[in-house]
């Protein structure tokens, strides 16, 4: 459905406005601009009915790529092949006239999406109902909040039965209820064969929807493939950005024979990770609600003050279930010198639903690994949670309710 080959976009940057005119008129032979390549040789394919999510840090080229695909800007070089009707949700409120009502904007933008007036009239009630704007549907859009903009834009874009749906961060605005409603509509499109390009910083939504994930970095494709592996690489790249002189370690081999992504500048490094039962025995199988211990041994290869050590538990689909670290717990860990080692222990009841979970661990400065990542290890261990014999429930959290009955 979508095939992109060696796509590049170069912007000319002038130090003075007059230089653009002078260069265009041909005064002199010296080039008066510098070049900024927002995209460079980007290639990928998306089959019909598949969801490709695009991730990357700010400035990686995500929005530029989507603007080229939707025709709102042109590429410098490269080829694009895309078949079918395309609907896009790019910058918030793009194409809406501020003084016109939501209903009037639907008619105008519906025509731009290829719908006839008759088709728009037949769908206008459905668009109104899905947007849940009520009386605001007939009021000027300048009176709308950002969430109401998204409701109107998504309701219109999803009503045209697109062959290709392109979404750029639009669902990050609005309340949780409408986000869930929109995600369900996207799932329906996916089942019906619509091809979807999805850009978002919501990693949970990406894990939920994506068949593949493409990681952009400084305008180039760094990797494309399995969502779990690419998102781990993206997570590592956030820490890599802060590493001095690119002295950043990255590999794909885990501890305890569990394959995962390991990254960091290795000023501190995990040398042992253990999951223990209540008798301090190494264990991977627990009954829901059992007491468990995560024991992390860290070797320090540089002098570090107050390192933050923590862990993250994910379910089998890669969704974050629970995570914390010593900084979030407001625990001061002290000063460590190069050559020292220390063991950090977290004890807790494993109030998790039955299923398999993976454990990731990290040591860094501050509350997040983006400041200075010493060592991050994904999927360092596997946990299997077994159901209780006397209590059954759905989901990943065991809340242990107390039941009473009054007549």
pLDDT tops 50 at residue 255: no
Higher pLDDT, 95 or 400: 400
Residue with tokens 């590999």: 251
Q: CA 34 to CA 14: how far, in whole Å?
A: 7
CATH (domain of 199) = 3.40.50.300
Within this chain, do residues 57 and 145 fall inside the same structural domain, yes or no? Answer: yes
Last residue of one domain, picked from the residues 225, 257, 272: 225
Tell me the three state secondary structure of residue 214. Answer: strand
**Tens digit of each residue's pLDDT (9 = 90 or more) over 72-115:** 889 999 999 988 888 887 765 567 888 999 999 999 988 887 78
Query: Considering only CA atoms, which of 297, 400, 305 is closest in space to residue 345?
Result: 297
pLDDT on residue 327: 94
- What number is the average pLDDT over the span 323-327? 95
**Tens digit of each residue's pLDDT (9 = 90 or more) over 19-61:** 777 777 776 667 777 888 999 999 999 998 899 999 988 888 8
Within this chain, do residues 202 and 312 fall inside the same structural domain, yes or no? Answer: no
In a domain, 401, yes or no: no
CA of 219: how far to CAs of 63, 294, 375, in Å? 11, 40, 27
Quick one: CA torsion of 247, 251, 253, 258, rounded to 10 degrees?
90
In a domain, 231, yes or no: no
pLDDT tops 80 at residue 332: yes
Q: Which two tokens stand for residue 225?
A: 């493939």
Q: CA 359 to CA 275: how far, in whole Å?
A: 9
Within this chain, do residues 212 and 254 fall inside the same structural domain, yes or no? Answer: no
296: left (phi over 0), alpha (psi -120 to 50) or beta: beta
Q: Which two tokens stand for residue 340?
A: 């020292």
- What number is the average pLDDT over the span 241-269? 62
Last residue of one domain, picked from the residues 225, 257, 277: 225
Q: CA 114 to CA 261: how far, in whole Å?
A: 45
Task: Find the domain containing 262 and state its range.
Answer: 247-386
Within this chain, do residues 265 and 330 fall inside the same structural domain, yes or no? Answer: yes
Within this chain, do residues 61 and 194 fall inside the same structural domain, yes or no? Answer: yes
For residue 325, the surrounding DSSP H or E stretch is strand 320-325
Query: Considering only CA atoms, which of 287, 293, 264 is closest in space to residue 381?
Result: 293
pLDDT on residue 254: 46
pLDDT on residue 310: 96
- What number is the average pLDDT over the span 197-221? 88
The mean pLDDT of the chain is 86
- What number is the average pLDDT over the span 327-355? 95
Question: Helix 146-157 and helix 102-112: axis angle, to 10°?
Answer: 40
Total number of residues shown for the chain: 407
Within this chain, do residues 265 and 211 fall inside the same structural domain, yes or no? Answer: no
Within this chain, do residues 254 and 174 fall inside the same structural domain, yes or no? Answer: no
What's the DSSP call for residue 406?
Answer: -
What lies within 8 Å, CB to CB, of 196 at 6+ separation is: 50, 51, 52, 164, 165, 166, 167, 186, 189, 190, 209
In a domain, 397, yes or no: no
Query: Considering only CA atoms, which of 160, 266, 167, 149 is closest in space to residue 210?
Result: 167
In a domain, 394, yes or no: no
- What number is the average pLDDT over the span 312-327? 91
Within this chain, do residues 67 and 115 fall inside the same structural domain, yes or no? Answer: yes
Q: How many domains does the chain have?
A: 2
- Residue 10: pLDDT band (50, 70, 90) is very high
**Tens digit of each residue's pLDDT (9 = 90 or more) over 279-292:** 999 999 999 999 99
pLDDT on residue 216: 93
The answer to whether 169 and 201 have CB atoms below 8 angstroms apart is: yes
Within this chain, do residues 379 and 343 fall inside the same structural domain, yes or no? Answer: yes
How many C-beta neighbours within 10 Å does residue 138 have? 12
The answer to whether 87 and 166 have CB atoms below 8 angstroms apart is: yes
Question: Helix 102-112 and helix 117-131: axis angle, to 10°?
Answer: 130
In a domain, 77, yes or no: yes
Question: Helix 117-131 and helix 146-157: axis angle, to 10°?
Answer: 140
Higher pLDDT, 159 or 295: 295
């Amino acid at each position: 459905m979508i095939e992109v080959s060696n796509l590049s976009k170069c912007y000319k940057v002038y130090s003075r406005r007059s230089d653009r005119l002078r260069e265009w008129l041909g005064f002199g032979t010296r080039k008066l601009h510098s070049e900024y390549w927002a995209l460079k040789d980007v290639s990928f394919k998306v089959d019909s009915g598949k969801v490709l999510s695009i991730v990357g840090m700010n400035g990686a080229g995500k929005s530029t790529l989507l603007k080229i695909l939707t025709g709102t800007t042109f590429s410098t070089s490269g080829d694009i092949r895309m078949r079918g009707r395309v609907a896009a949700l790019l910058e918030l409120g793009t194409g809406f006239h501020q003084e016109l009502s939501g209903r009037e904007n639907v008619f105008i933008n519906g025509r731009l999406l290829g719908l006839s007036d008759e088709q728009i009239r037949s769908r206008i009630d459905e668009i109104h109902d899905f947007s849940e704007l009520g009386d605001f549907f007939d009021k000027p859009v300048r009176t709308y909040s950002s969430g109401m903009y998204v409701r109107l834009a998504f309701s219109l874009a999803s009503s045209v039965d697109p062959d290709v749906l392109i979404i750029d961060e639009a669902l990050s605005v609005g309340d949780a209820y409408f986000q869930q409603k929109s995600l369900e509509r996207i799932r329906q499109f996916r089942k019906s064969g619509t091809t979807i390009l999805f850009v978002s910083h919501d990693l949970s939504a990406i894990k939920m929807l994506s068949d593949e994930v493409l990681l952009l970095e400084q305008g180039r494709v760094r990797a494309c493939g399995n969502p779990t592996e690419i998102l781990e690489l993206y997570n590592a790249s956030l820490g890599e950005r802060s590493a001095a002189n690119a002295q950043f370690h990255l590999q794909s081999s885990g501890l305890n024979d569990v394959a995962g992504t390991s990254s960091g500048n290795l000023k501190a490094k995990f040398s042992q990770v253990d999951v223990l039962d209540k008798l301090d025995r190494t264990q991977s199988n627990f009954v829901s609600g059992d007491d468990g211990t995560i024991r992390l041994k860290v070797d320090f290869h540089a002098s570090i003050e107050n390192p933050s050590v923590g862990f993250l538990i994910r379910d089998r689909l890669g969704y974050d279930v629970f995570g914390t670290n010593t900084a979030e717990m407001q625990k001061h860990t002290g000063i460590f010198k190069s050559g020292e080692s220390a063991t950090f222990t977290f004890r807790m009841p494993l109030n998790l639903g039955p299923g398999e979970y993976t454990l990731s661990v990290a040591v860094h400065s501050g509350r997040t690994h983006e400041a200075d990542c010493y060592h991050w290890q994904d999927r360092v261990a596997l946990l299997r949670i077994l159901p209780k014999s006397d209590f059954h429930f759905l989901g990943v959290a065991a809340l242990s309710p107390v039941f009473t009955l009054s007549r």
